[in-house]
Structure formats: C-alpha cells, structure tokens
Amino acid sequence: MQILHPFAGSVQQYNEQLSNADAYRPSHCPQCQTKHPLTAHGFYTRTLIDTAFDGVIRVRRYLCNACQRTVSLLPEFILPYLRSSLMVIALFLVARLLGGQTIEAAARTAPPMPHQRGQFWIGRFCAQAQTLCAALAALTQPTPAPDFVHRALTMLESTGWIAAHRFLFAGVRCHLLGWPRGLAPDGRRAAFSSATAPV
C-alpha cells in the first residue's frame, strides 16, 4: 500500500532526509490498524521527471510485523503510478485546458515531452473531473465554470495542486487522475485485500 510521506519539500530535500528511517516512521499500520510502529524495510526505486529533475529516486518502505504487508511512503510531489511529477502534469493540464494552448505547445512547457503523454493525462483528468469537483468542495468554493473540467482546474489552482493532492490522496484515497483499473476506488488491489486482509 502506498501512503503519503508527511515530508514536504523539494526533490533534493526529500533525497537528503531519506537516510533517517526514524524521521517519518509510521506509528501504526494503515492496513490492519495494529498500533505498533512499523519496521524499516528498505527502498524501491522509481523514475521521476520533474521541472528540474529527471532521474531515479528512492521510496522508503516499511513492514508491518502483524500483517506482513508493506507500506511505502510516497513524496507529495508524486502521483501514484505516474512517472512525471505532479507539478509537471499540472503545468501541462493548465496550459492546455485552461490556457487554451495546442497540445503540442503545452507538451513543450518544461520539460518537453511527447504530446501523446499529455493526451493520456487529459483523458484521465477529464474522466476524473466530476469526482474531483465533488471531493474538492470540502476545500474550496466551487466556481462557476462551463463544465466539470474547467471547474476542477479552477478549484485545483485556487487550492494549490500539492495541497489538493495531499487532501485527496492522504485524506480520501482519491487519485487526481483516477486510479488505474484494478486499483479503484482507493488505490488498493481489490483481489489482494479481500483475499488476504485479516478480518
């Protein structure tokens, strides 16, 4: 299971604090709710494309000794299962959907990328827009807008994308671009949790 790292800061600051396993060790298991602190369980690596970073970062993992499942702490600038950072995705979506740029021009906003990737984000964002409007109403006033896509973008801009992601992912287990198939509605594998989760 992935949860949000309580740490807030840049990619570089994130990398610097990673060596200390105690700093953000979860005090309980989010999966079985056991009250024992989790055991540090190494890292996994993943790629990240940010406005000023393109490389591999480590993600810290903890193990729950009660249910034997792992918990990974994702930094807040990452959306689960997406290689580009939240800010890169936000810049593209705003340029294309609010700014009215062509998809090719929006794909050239920092850092440049194949426009097909942007098309993929747009498809997922548009499918998720109505859900986002409902969820974000807890944070900010819905504004008049021609459709859910514009309303969701305006609400994200006024809340701040990171703050919104923190609320959506950590608070209500909602993915800004929608969970991939098989992980809806809350980012856990349905088959996994129903087959093996302790009752």
- Closest approach of Zn ion to the CB of residue 69, in Å: 6
Phi-psi region of 21 (alpha: psi -120 to 50; beta: other; left: phi over 0): alpha
Is residue 66 close enough to count as binding Zn ion by CB under 5 A? yes
CA dist 90 and 176 (Å) reads: 10
CA dist 70 and 1 (Å) reads: 6
169, 175 Cβ separation under 8 angstroms: yes
Q: Tell me whether residue 115 or residue 188 sits nearer to Zn ion (CB atom).
A: 188
What separation, in Å, do the N-terminal and C-terminal C-alpha atoms of the chain show? 17
For Zn ion, the binding residue among 63, 67, 98, 103 (CB under 5 A) is: 67
Give the binding range for Zn ion (CB under 5 A) out of 22-30, 70-78, 121-129, 166-174.
22-30
For Zn ion, the binding residue among 2, 4, 18, 31 (CB under 5 A) is: 31
Is residue 162 close enough to count as binding Zn ion by CB under 5 A? no
CA dist 14 and 58 (Å) reads: 9
For Zn ion, the binding residue among 4, 18, 29, 59 (CB under 5 A) is: 29
- Closest approach of Zn ion to the CB of residue 153, in Å: 37
Q: Tell me whether residue 56 or residue 195 sits nearer to Zn ion (CB atom).
A: 195
Angle of helix 115-136 versus helix 86-93 axis, rounded to 10: 90
CA dist 155 and 71 (Å) reads: 30
Is residue 38 close enough to count as binding Zn ion by CB under 5 A? no
Residues 90-149 that bind Zn ion (CB under 5 A): none
- Closest approach of Zn ion to the CB of residue 25, in Å: 14
* Structure tokens belonging to residue 141: 């006033």
| Binding residues for Zn ion (CB under 5 A) | 29, 31-32, 34, 64, 66-67
